[in-house]
Structure 1
Amino acid sequence: MTSPIDPALSADEISAIAREAYVYAFPMMIAYGFFHRQTCGPDTPEKQAIGRFTHFRTLGSPTFNNVIPWINTDTLYSAAWLDLRREPVVLSVPAFEAHRFQNVQAADWYTMNFFTRGTRDVGNGARTYLLAGPGWSGPRPRGVDEVVVADSWIIKLFTRIIVEGPDDGPAIHALQDQYGLTPLSQFLGQPAPPAPSEPEFPAPPASGLRGRGFFEQPTPEFIATFNQLMTQAAVHPDEAALFERFARIGAVPGGAFDVAALTAEQAAAIQTGIDAGLAQIEHRLANLDTPVNGWVYPMDLRGGRDRLTGGDAAYLARAVAARYAIWGPGAEEVVYMVAEVDAAGAPLDGTTAAYEIRFDQAPPVDGFWSYTIYDAASRLLVPHPSGRYKRGDRDADIRRNADGGFSLLLQNAPPPAGREGDWLPVPAGRFQVVGRLYGPHAPLLSRAYAPPPLVRVAP
C-alpha cells in the first residue's frame, strides 16, 4: 500500500502537522472512550442508551458512579447520547418550581458546548427544543421554542437538577421523568425517514488507554481513529484549510490509514509530533492559570465554537479541558475553582494538618455554591466515615454572620463541639477542594473576586 503521507513533506513538516492534528483530535478521542464505555460497554452505573435518557436517581458518592473525575454531588443528572443522522430530535423540558436551579447542556462530537439553557438564561418554564445535525435547515415546527443545529451528528446531552435537601429525591425523580426525546417525524405525526447505515463503533484498543482509562492513543494509529471519528462530524467551513493540511499526513474524514504503509522515517516523524502535542497538553495542565490565594480557576477551557476554535491556543484549551474536566458547562453558567495548596503554598494533606477557609460574605452567585473534597491524584471522591463530602449553600447548619459570611473547617477528625455544621471532612492524605459557583456574578467572571485562602490551623 502506498504511504498516505505527501512525499513533498520533510520530516519536520510531518511532525508539525502531526502535532497539530493530535492536539485537535485529542478531546474527540477522550470523548469516544467515554462514549464507547457508556453505550457499548458492560452494564455500569454510567451506562447510557443512544436516543433515550438515562436518569441518575442517586447523587455521586465514593461507592456510586465514582468513575468520572470531579463527580458532581449537587445535582441529579439525566444523560443521553443522540444520533441525529436519521433526523432531528425534539427535546422537551418540563416546568420547574421557581426556587429550583436546573439546566440542559449539549456538547458536540468535538466536545464543545453548543447549547446550554436553564434557570440562568431562560427561566424555569417548560421549553421545547429541536436538536439537529449539520446541514439541517428545515422550518421551526409548531410547538418548538428553539431550533439548535450542531456541528456533529453524535451529541452528548445532560440535564441537571439541584438537590435541595435529603428528602428531595422523589420530587426530582418526577421532574426527570418528564424530560422527553422524540424523533421529529414522530413529533409531527409523519412517517420516519429511511434509517442510515449503522456506524462502526469499535472498542478503543487497550494500547491507546492512558492513566485512568482515558483513550488518548499517543501513537501514529491515532490518525486512523481520527479519520473514523470525523465521519460523525462535519468539517466547519472555517476549518477547511486546517483539514487540507491534515490531509497531507493522511488525516482525512472517513479515509483509510494503514500505519504499516509508512516508512520508518515517516512513522518516527509522526511520533515526534504526537509527543510534542502531548507535552503541550501536559504543560498546560500543570500551568492552568495564575493562582489567586491558592485557587486556580481558568475561564478559557470551556465553551463553544466561539471560544474553542480558531488557532493553536484554542485547540490546546479544548484538549486540556477534555482531560481536566470534560463536558463542563461554560464559565457564564458555573465557575469552577480548585485549590490544592494552602495559604503558604504547601500541598493540602489531611494526614496531620487541618485548614480553615474564612468567607467574609457568601460567594457572589445567583444560583448555588458548594465546596467538595476529592483525592488530589485521581480527582475522585474518597470514602470518609462521616459520609460527608461537601458543604454548600443548602446546608442550614453552617454558622453564618449577618452578611452571610461563614467558615469551613477542613480536617480528617471530627470537629470541636459547636462546629459540626462547618466541618468539611478530608481524607488522610493529599486532597483538593473544588468550588462550584453557579450563576456567577460579574466579579467572578472578571476575576475581580478573590476567594479566601486555606489557612492551616491546629487540628
Structure 2
Amino acid sequence: MTDGQHAMTGQVDPSLSDAEVAELAEEAYLYAYPMLVAYGFFHRQVAGPAAPERQAFNRFTHFRELASPALNNTIPWVNTDTLYSAVWLDLRAEPFVLTNPAFEDFRFHDIQANDWYTMCFVTRGTRDVGNGSRTYLIAGPDWTGPKSDFVDEVISAESSIVKLFVRVVVENDGDVAAIHRLQDQYDLRPLSAVLGEPTPAATLLNLPSPESALFEGGFYECPTPAFIRVFNALMIVATIHPSERDLFARFARIGATPGAAFDETALREHHVAAIMRGIGAARARITKRLAHLGDPINGWTYPLDLRGGRDVLAGSTRAFECRAVLAKYAIWGPPAEEVVYMNCDVDADGALLNGADAAYTLRFDGPVPAKGFWSFTVYDAETRLLSPHPSGRYKRGDRDRDMVRAGDGSLTLYLQNQPPAPDRQANWLPIPLKGFQVVARLYWPTPDVLDLSYKPPPIVRVR
C-alpha cells in the first residue's frame, strides 16, 4: 500500500513506529493549528448555520464604532484607534477588484490581506503607497488572466479563501462620521462585474462543520485525530508552496493529504494514542511559547517574529511554531513594518502593575518612534479587556492634541486611578484599582524599533 493509499483510507503507514507517528502528528498539528483556529472564526462568521457573527461572504462588514469598555469589549487587547472593515473573499471562481478612496494627507489607512494559512501576504496604505485612490485586483492561486489597464496592482494569494481587513485611523470622537463616509467608498466587486461579463458559475464550498466540543476558550483547536480529516478538507482551497512539498510528503504518512478522505475511527488504538501524544506535544510548545513571548526590554515585550508573511512565518519548524502561537495570541496580525504592539505588565523594578495602591509615570525624552500614529491603552491584567473608568478615558495617543510636553521636549504620561494635578490632567492615563497592562501601538514604526535597538522607557512607580 502506498503513502497516498494510506491517506485515502485513513490509515497510518504501518512501517512507522509509534514514536515516528507521534513526531509526525506533532509536526502536522503545529502546521495545521492556525488553519483550524481561522476556520473556527470563518464558520462562525460566514459558513456556519445562521453564522452568528453575521459577516457576508464577498461583501464588506463595516464596524462603525470604536471599541470601549461598554461596546465590543470581548476581544483581548482590542484596538481603539481605528475603525475596521472586514471581508472573507472567495477567489475560487474569479478575482475581486478593490478600489480604496482618496484620503486626507493626515489620515493613516491601510489594507491587509491574510491567506488561509493566516499569514499576512500584503499590506498597502499610507506607509508604502500613500493616500491616493488605488485599484487592486486580488486573485487566487489558479488565476492566470491579464492585468487590466484600470488596475494599479495585482495581488496574488496562496489560497482561494482570504481574509481582508481595512483600517482607518480615527482622529477624535467627532471624526467617526467622516470615517463612515470613507468606509462606504471602498468599492469591492468581482472582476466579471467590473468588466460587464457573465458571472462564472460558483461551486459549493464543502467544508466540515467544526464540532462544538472541539472549541476551547472560543478557539477551534480540534485536539484529536479528527484534526487530520479537517486539515485535509481545509487544504483544498490552498496551494502547497514548492518549499513545503517534502513536508507534505511526510504528512501523508499519517494520512494528512490535501483533499483526501480520512476516517479517524478506522485508526488502530496505538496509532490513536501516538497521534494524541503528538498533538499534546505540539500544544505544549504553543503554551510554552505563549508564556515567554520574548525577552522584555525595560518591561516591554514585543515579539517581532510573530508578525508577517511567508518570509517570517514559514520555512522551518520554529516558524510554524511562531505561526501557531500567533494564531492563539493575535491571529491575522499585520507585519511589524506596518505596526508593532508592545506590551508591559511590570514596572521598572519588575513588580506587576497594580493601580490599587500605586501610581506610575511613563516618560519619553524624545519622540515616540512611530511615523504613522501611536497610542498607549490600559487593559485589565487578567481578562486583557478594557477596564471601565469614571473618566471614560483608557488611552492616550498622538491624536490627543491637548497633551503637554515639557520645555525640554519630553513627554510624561501619568498612570494613576485618581486625577493628577490640573496641569497634568491632559497627560493622565487612568488605571483601574487592580492589576493592569499597557499596550503601546506604533503604526509605521521607525527602523530602530524593527531592529530592536530602540529601548522603550520603563513604567516607573512614583508612589
The normalised TM-score by structure 1 is 0.96
Which of 189, 192, 206 is 2:196 aligned to? 189
Q: Is the 8 A contact 2:43 2:51 kept in 1?
A: no
Aligned amino acid, residue 200 of structure 2 = P
Which of 180, 185, 198 is 1:173 aligned to? 180
Greater Cα offset, 315-324 or 416-425: 416-425
Greater Cα offset, 289-298 or 67-76: 67-76
Aligned amino acid, residue 177 of structure 1 = D
Q: Is the 8 A contact 1:36 1:201 kept in 2?
A: no
Q: Show structure 1 runs of 4+ deviating over 6 A.
A: none
Aligned equivalents of 2:293, 2:58: Cα separation in 1: 35
Aligned equivalents of 1:50, 1:8: Cα separation in 2: 44
Aligned equivalents of 1:267, 1:394: Cα separation in 2: 55
Q: Is the 8 A contact 2:207 2:234 kept in 1?
A: no
Pair 1:434-2:431 in alignment: no
Aligned equivalents of 2:67, 2:458: Cα separation in 1: 27
Match of 1:115 in 2: 122
Q: Is the 8 A contact 1:31 1:111 kept in 2?
A: yes
Aligned amino acid, residue 268 of structure 2 = T
* Pair 41,456 (structure 1): closer, same or farther in 2 beyond 3 Å: farther
Pair 1:53-2:60 in alignment: yes
Aligned equivalents of 2:159, 2:434: Cα separation in 1: 42
Aligned amino acid, residue 244 of structure 2 = E
Displacement of 1:172: 1.0
Aligned equivalents of 2:380, 2:260: Cα separation in 1: 42
Displacement of 1:286: 1.2
Q: Is the 8 A contact 1:3 1:263 kept in 2?
A: no
Greater Cα offset, 343-352 or 96-105: 343-352
Q: Deviations over 1:180-217 (max 9, x none)?
A: 11101111111111212233352x22222223x11112
Pair 1:314-2:316 in alignment: no
Pair 1:344-2:346 in alignment: no
Which of 353, 373, 388 is 1:368 aligned to? 373
Aligned equivalents of 1:161, 1:403: Cα separation in 2: 33
Structure 2 residue matching 1:155: 3-state secondary structure: strand
Structure 2 residue matching 1:58: 3-state secondary structure: coil
Structure 2 residue matching 1:361: 3-state secondary structure: coil
Match of 1:333 in 2: 338
Aligned amino acid, residue 437 of structure 1 = L
Pair 1:198-2:205 in alignment: yes
Which of 297, 306, 317 is 1:301 aligned to? 306
Match of 1:415 in 2: 420
**Residues 16-95 of structure 1 aligned to structure 2 (within 5 Å):** 16-39=23-46, 40=48, 47-95=54-102
Aligned amino acid, residue 83 of structure 2 = L
Match of 1:390 in 2: 395
Q: Deviations over 1:148-195 (max 9, x none)?
A: 110111110100111011210121111110001110111111111121
Displacement of 1:389: 1.5
Pair 1:130-2:143 in alignment: no
**Residues 133-282 of structure 1 aligned to structure 2 (within 5 Å):** 133-200=140-207, 202=209, 204-211=210-217, 213-282=218-287
* Pair 41,413 (structure 1): closer, same or farther in 2 beyond 3 Å: farther
**Unpaired stretches in structure 2, ≥5 consecutive residues:** 1-7
Identical positions, percent? 59
Displacement of 1:381: 1.6
Aligned amino acid, residue 123 of structure 2 = T
Match of 1:106 in 2: 113
**Residues 397-412 of structure 1 aligned to structure 2 (within 5 Å):** 397-402=402-407, 404-412=409-417
Q: Is the 8 A contact 1:70 1:325 kept in 2?
A: no
Aligned equivalents of 2:335, 2:92: Cα separation in 1: 26
Which of 269, 284, 287 is 2:292 aligned to? 287
Greater Cα offset, 214-223 or 334-343: 214-223
Q: Deviations over 1:94-123 (max 9, x none)?
A: 110111100000000100011100000000
Aligned equivalents of 1:403, 1:122: Cα separation in 2: 35
